[in-house]
Chain A
């Protein structure tokens, strides 16, 4: 069964239609890259998957999304539970202005973990999983804002995986980072694949090719192509995808 099934999602901000009847399914433990030119609706689609548009009164969402076959937009669904199961890493690293340890402990606490030793252990575990432990283990009580951009982003990933989500959404997680930090994040994403299903928005075609199992290309709110990465770059079916891959527009 597919982990995430996007079923006929349309979204408009006021009179402007940003997504038009997008449907596709994502298998567990796959990395799917959402690509397409600026303004095509990639980030908007990503934010539909953890219902981050809920607080925006202008946004109107039609269609639905299934997580393990359950409708996440259903009437009985607790949106906070959905967001705990579907974590998100943002484009700009957004650590809380608290200590490194508290950044990770925060998500654990609001999700009901009270035991200090458990929290301590999970902080260490998630920092190790995010390959940040070596760099920060001796300054856990220092402010997260003192870290470099790449370290901050890995802290945000650690914060996300600390509460053990099933799916991780990533919105251009490396666009604000230098090549070395980007490399580290990419390695991390590939390792996370074993435990999580990952949907990543990226502008970087090489990045999509390096890490993704499948590519979903959006153009002006339409899903123009959804196929295996190899297939997408070697034999894109759609004319727009061919042009995009060959760099004729972007």
Chain B
């Protein structure tokens, strides 16, 4: 009898916790959706900001976020995947590699503003990129690296040893085995990790704050050395820095909704790729 009461109480507690966290999420989503959908018109999506951002659209911010995320991807994916392959397949298990692994995991916990300031020092000033798409993209790339490396390493670890040996025993070199057998098997996991890291980077404000984002631009960036607008920063400005915060609140909600949709779309792509690869194997 006592056990049954314990079980019932435990179950109720777990259910309550689940409901609480889910409903918090639900309220946020519902709130943003309900208030954001009204302004989400084609003019809002494809238009430029007008009248001190109290009217018009956020097209430059969408383009800016898209481009900066693209640069982040170009910079961090090859570097991250290659690092993980090296750590997992080539490097021995020494105190040095253990130190490197621990450091990478710790880097994932560094506050994003620290990356932002580091990006100013390294990319904007030392490498003389100025405040630009390129500097911001690379700063976000640095921030994404630990996630991509860790996710790739985990994915590589799931590849069965028997498959690697099967390839080796056919006379394949280590490089061929990695490129043609191990990476394809680990690809769904790697891609999921990459997209999660990128969707996080797309929503970041702090790392781009000092490295290239601009609060208002009437033109689109034409080169990687231009400054740019970005959705998360635009949202930040509309919610806290604008002279008429109450007036632009509907626009802020629509911007938030659009950012959510963008991130959701990225995750959907990850889901689709995983499903497709699962079918093949």
Contacts and interface: CB of A to CB of B under 8 A. Distances in A.
B166 interface: yes
B163 to A, nearest CB: 6
Contacts of A87: 169-170
A110 interface: yes
A110 to B, nearest CB: 5
Interface stretch (B73-81, B129-137, B173-181): B173-181
A96 B171 contact: no
A88 B171 CA distance: 10
Contacts of B173: 80, 110
B241 interface: no
Counting contact residues on chain A (CB < 8 A from B), the size range is 20 to 34
Contacts of A88: 165, 169
A122 interface: no
B185 A97 contact: yes
B280 A143 contact: yes
A97 B171 contact: no
Contacts of A235: none
B281 A83 contact: no
Given A52-B165, A110-B180, A143-B281, A94 B170 contact: no
Nearest to B176: A110
A238 B251 CA distance: 90
Interface string B172-204: 111010001100110000000000000000000
Contacts of A95: 166
Given A57-B92, A97-B185, A110 B165 contact: no
A94 B163 contact: yes
A84 B171 CA distance: 5
Q: Chain B binding site: helix, strand, loop or mixed by DSSP?
A: helix
Interface stretch (A34-42, A155-163, A195-203, A205-213): A155-163
Contacts of B172: 80, 106-107, 110
A88 B169 CA distance: 6
A208 B97 CA distance: 45
A50 interface: yes
Contact of B170 (A92, A97, A98, A163): A163
B253 to A, nearest CB: 45
Given A92-B162, A156-B166, A163 B181 contact: no
Contact of A98 (B165, B171, B176, B281): B281
A189 B116 CA distance: 64
A145 interface: yes
A97 B168 contact: no
Interface string B136-176: 00000000000000000000000010110111111111101
A-B pairs with the 6 shortest C-beta distances? Answer: A84-B171, A94-B162, A97-B281, A88-B169, A107-B170, A83-B171
Interface of A: 50, 52, 55, 57, 80-84, 87-88, 90, 92, 94-98, 106-107, 110-111, 143, 145, 156, 159-160, 163
Given A106-B172, A110-B172, A163-B170, 20 more contacts: A52-B165, A52-B168, A55-B174, A80-B173, A82-B171, A84-B170, A87-B170, A88-B169, A90-B165, A90-B169, A94-B163, A94-B166, A96-B181, A96-B185, A97-B163, A97-B184, A106-B181, A110-B180, A111-B171, A159-B170
